[in-house]
Amino acid sequence: MYQKITAIIPAFNEEKNIGRVIDVLEKTQSIGLISEIIVVNDGSKDKTEMIARNKHVKLINLQENKGKAYAMAEGLKEAKGEFCLFIDGDLVNLKSTHIINLIKPLLINQEIMTVAKLVNGRLSTDIAQSLNTKCSGQRAAKKEIFIKIFKTIKNIGKVKYGIENIITDRSKNFKIGIYFVEWDGVSQSLKEEKWGLITGFVRRIRMYISMNLGHLRNIFYNLSKKIHYKRGL
């Protein structure tokens, strides 16, 4: 028997793809692998909310854009499953087999976190994943593991896209292994496609800065832990 698994989609202006992403999750839900789907609408200005309302999901509406990390935390608070699966709303060519392959290892070993690596899709996505696999937004683990990690994060609203690096790195502190699963043919839409060339490029740069700040947060977090440990000796 499958454990209860909650799928959480943090979404900001994802009208082009979120409907298809939800459809894939609903198909996986129909075979009993996913028990609940939550969409956290992070202050979207497009039709993201309307699309989600027409699906069989639990919708959480944030009145203003709070950032990905904040949206993920809000979804986690409402999740009823024993496991949580985070999925981005801008995925292209996602299939139910990808979701199944990400969840299956958890049914064998519950002390790991599975992380999807997108391969053989768009060149831009493949390059980004190769440079920093830890930044993947597609991951699954026991809910209590995510809760423990999120409790270590201060000022969650400022973390934004740095959240993925933080989750991956801090999982080690709880002795949780990272298990990478390749998602063949899956890509993500470009910022430039969603926002236009100039605005999209600016948002892309901001995203990369946010990711790198996530690395810095982890460095300072680990240093502070070492200092506290030495003081306690």
Helical spans, DSSP H, in 17-162: 18-30, 48-53, 68-78, 96-108, 123-131, 143-151
- Reported as a pLDDT band with limits 50, 70 and 90, residue 1 is very low
- Tell me the C-alpha distance between 106 and 114, whole Å: 7
pLDDT at 229: 46
Tens of pLDDT, residue by residue over 35-89, are 999 999 999 999 999 999 999 999 999 999 999 999 999 999 999 999 999 999 9
Q: Model-level pTM?
A: 0.86
Using the CB atoms, write b or e for 162-176: b if 16+ within 10 Å: bbbbbbbbbbeeeeb
Structurally, how many domains does the chain consist of? 1
Q: Which residue range(s) make up the domain with 94? A: 5-232
CATH number of residue 46's parent domain = 3.90.550.10
